Chain A
Amino acid sequence: MLRRPITLRALRLAATLFVVATAVFLMMRTSGDPALAIAGPDAEPAYLEQVRLKWGLDQPLHEQYLVFLGNAFRGDFGQSMASGEGAGALFLARLPATLQLGILSLIISFLGIPLGIIAALRQGTSLDRFVMSFAVMAFSMPNFFLGILFILVFSMHLHLLPSYGSGSWQHLVMPALTLGLSSAGAVARFARSCMLDVLGSTYVLSARARGIPTSRRMLLHALPNAAIPLVTILGFRIGDLVAGAIIVETVFAWPGIGRLLANAVASRDLPVVQVVVLATALTMILANLAVDALYGWLDPRMRR
């Protein structure tokens, strides 16, 4: 009985990846002539021809697509059209930096949960207002702006932290805060709202009426119910972090895959874009699967 959902899900995963790969291929190939992006706008026609021949850009679109698919199945994502390095190798080299940044940012954004819950429990008080103001300020700040402000304040004026790059924990602080704070704000608000919903529900109120002590009420009745919609939103946080990484890594010159993607898109470097997007897609889908599973576990009514 449990096997059908899993195979269905696996199929859905494969189907999504396939669609993503195809969509990215189409988008990259039809949005201008990649040869011009690789060779530069001042390149001679003869050189452009050479670039096209080298990368098979002169072949009809469907043939290019089949070649690409065939290679992808064998795990060969080709070489970067800009530098000639292996696309897969480039990706793997940059991955650890983004993972570092991503995990820390995710932890920072999770801090929003206890903040939101506290605010809900102390609804209406100045603590509630303070936490919520902070949350709103955090997510209303565009991440590149926050990042630049951080650099100006902590690097240029206070000389406390380095302005760019990676290598030590000091390098990690500002990028992680920039990426994570805005998420933390959104999570805090949502956590508060979910908690309030649950606190006002008949389920919890009747527990209160039955005389169940506050702490037990919170733990066994309120939190699990609040967790359900909260879990859904957390899945999206990862997506936001990936999107945010593109900008934050550029601002802080952080050597991760967000920057790799930004450069690759500008140069229409299809193999590199493919690798990054497919890997991101896979992560997102797996994360959502995990969320679904968590969902099912939290809400027994969901289990079929």
Chain B
Amino acid sequence: MHLLKTTVLALLATVSLASTGIAQDARPVLKVGVEQLPEGLAPGLQLNNVGQRITYSIFDHLIKRGYWTNESGDGAELMPSIATEWRNISPTEWEVDIRQGVTFHDGKPLTAEDVAFTFGEQNMWGKDRIVVQGTTYFGNLTDVSVVDADTVKFTTVAPDPIFAKRFTAPLGMVVPKDYYLEKGIDGFNLAPIGTGPYKVAEYRQHEILRLVAHDDYWGGTPPAKEVQFIEIPEEAARISALINGELDVITNVSPDQQATLSGQPGIVVKPAIIDNTRTLAFNTFAPPMDDVKLRRAIALGADRKRVAEALWGTEGRLPHPLNLPGHGEYYFADRPAIGYDPEEAKRLLSESKYNGEELVLRVLEGYYTNYLQAAQILQEMWRDIGINVKIEVRDSGATLREGTYHLMNASDGMQVNDPLHPFYTTFGPTAPRTAENSKNREWAPPARFWELGELLSTTTDVEERKKLFREALDIFDAEVPEVPLFQAVDYYAMRETVDWKPYSFFPMDFGPNNLSFKTGH
């Protein structure tokens, strides 16, 4: 008996030792300090930058943009993800092969059914669709159906030149049909399930989001045991926490602070030049802003290059808001943004109907880094040529557009690397700034502008598309509905031992492609 007892105990001890050996996870916990956490995590609802940053770790796009394929994080090649292959079988039909062996965070396998549902009529583009904004990206679909266990067929209303690229946008993330319908999008928003490298363990609003590794991730073993996103609104506290060793990565480092941080031992600062331009939009429905001469004068009278250099240092770039290097072959280097010419501005001003009245410029508190500073500098420049601008800061989106305003802070983002973005999304028929049924309509584009957008959405010939895009840019340049101020640059700071690079858009990728830890972490 004594021998039996000892043997059993020894056996138990060995087993428990062995299992601790198996369960022992040498991977570190990654702590990320962010300025703001999103209110929810459903891809259909979180389309802004704070949400995109995080949903990338929880979900997978059907097709991914290959950000990680080059050093600067702006790779544009389309990479297989949940979809392994896609074929254009007829002008309006596409067949997409679905990866096998992918599991959701609750262990259930991903099926073609989930893909078909995510991009189907019920969820994305039908009359009573769940994701209201789905038609902006997938409004051209007329049918999405399961062919067999690993194939889905998509039918479009017309030939689609950017079919595959659409899935690289935030709405292109795949959700689990049964769970999603069971919870409803509001419930899903608070407790999401995806196929991404990390799954939600804890979510406390505006406090912390804890993600734990999804070890069955199809893309490889997640490099971190846990990723924590912690909301720390005060920049000084974020910086202090990083220097102190309490955090591994922080976001939203302002350009003036990055010099301080770079000098700290053990800290590395990396810039991410985002495919998003901060602009100054003109409210053409508020006289005298309906006069294009005045708009052009305001644009020409602002030395935005100097402002960008002063505030952003050498990182300050001044692209044309619609014509971006990210457009690849559709980028026209010979079409820069409107320049700086104060003499011409004064001349135009005298010809316009402007009589020195006060023009109101609205800025949303804390939304765009350095925007208020830029506005104050520009205000002085405009004063010098006789334009009287008053800055009004608003604390909330609720009051941002109340009352009369002439100039509005804005941004144009290239969600998909095709000339249609931001041209037809930001200034299209469903966009808040230009839609006919929009309460806050600021510009009514000429009919031809939208015509060009429609044509561009359904033409596949590259040369033809370039022609159409040029014409659209011509109209935009003639109308001057907005002025670009500077390209968004996000600075991330991290500990030296964290090998991670930011991408040229909002997502933060902590998956196996992009994150590893150096020795000493």
Contacts and interface: CB of A to CB of B under 8 A. Distances in A.
Contacts of A50: 132
A127 interface: no
B206 interface: yes
Interface string A146-184: 001001100110010011110000000000000000000
A42 interface: yes
A164 B431 CA distance: 39
Interface in B461-492: none
B237 A40 contact: no
A84 B237 contact: no
B398 A45 contact: no
B233 A253 contact: yes
Given A31-B398, A32-B398, A45 B438 contact: yes
Interface in A170-228: none
A159 B264 CA distance: 14
A43 B430 CA distance: 10
B395 interface: yes
Contacts of A41: 364, 367, 397, 400-401, 432
A37 B396 contact: yes
B205 A90 contact: yes
A251 B397 contact: no
A104 interface: no
B40 interface: yes
Nearest to A250: B233
B4 interface: no
B204 A255 contact: yes
B29 to A, nearest CB: 15
B496 interface: no
Contact of B432 (A42, A251, A260, A263): A42
Nearest to A97: B207
A163 B244 contact: yes
B186 A155 contact: no
Nearest to A254: B207
Nearest to B430: A44
B240 A45 contact: no
B246 A34 contact: no
B40 A83 contact: yes
B48 interface: yes
Interface string A254-286: 010001100101111000000000000000000
Interface in B33-89: 33, 39-40, 47-48
Nearest to A166: B207
Contacts of B364: 41
A129 to B, nearest CB: 33
Interface string B120-138: 0000000000001101100
Given A45-B432, A148-B236, A250-B233, A266 B396 contact: yes
A263 B432 CA distance: 24
A152 B243 CA distance: 10
Interface string B187-229: 1011000000000000011110000000000000000000000
Contacts of A267: 39, 396-398
A272 to B, nearest CB: 10
Given A83-B190, A151-B240, A163-B244, A253 B231 contact: yes
B241 A163 contact: yes
A90 B397 CA distance: 23
B48 A40 contact: yes
B400 A155 contact: no
B233 A46 contact: no
Contacts of B190: 83-85
B37 to A, nearest CB: 10
A260 B240 CA distance: 23
A32 B430 contact: no
A83 B237 contact: no
A159 B244 contact: yes
Contacts of A37: 396-398
Contacts of B430: 44-46
A82 interface: yes
A114 B342 CA distance: 67
Q: Which of B40, B231, B400, B432 counts the most A-chain CB atoms under 10 A from its CB?
A: B432
Contacts of B397: 32, 36-37, 39-41, 267
Given A36-B398, A155-B241, A83 B39 contact: yes
18 contacts: A32-B396, A32-B399, A32-B400, A33-B398, A33-B402, A36-B397, A40-B47, A40-B397, A42-B48, A42-B432, A48-B432, A84-B187, A148-B237, A152-B236, A155-B240, A155-B241, A164-B234, A164-B238
Interface of B: 33, 39-40, 47-48, 132-133, 135-136, 186-187, 189-190, 204-207, 230-234, 236-241, 243-246, 364, 367, 395-402, 411, 430-432, 435, 437-439
9 cross-chain pairs, A with B, having the tightest CB-CB distances, nearest first:
A32-B398, A32-B399, A37-B398, A163-B241, A156-B240, A163-B240, A253-B232, A82-B39, A47-B132
Interface of A: 31-34, 36-37, 39-48, 50, 80, 82-85, 90, 93, 148, 151-152, 155-156, 159, 162-165, 250-253, 255, 259-260, 263, 265-268
Given A148-B237, A156-B244, A163-B246, 12 more contacts: A36-B398, A39-B397, A41-B364, A41-B400, A43-B432, A152-B240, A155-B240, A156-B239, A162-B246, A163-B241, A255-B206, A267-B396
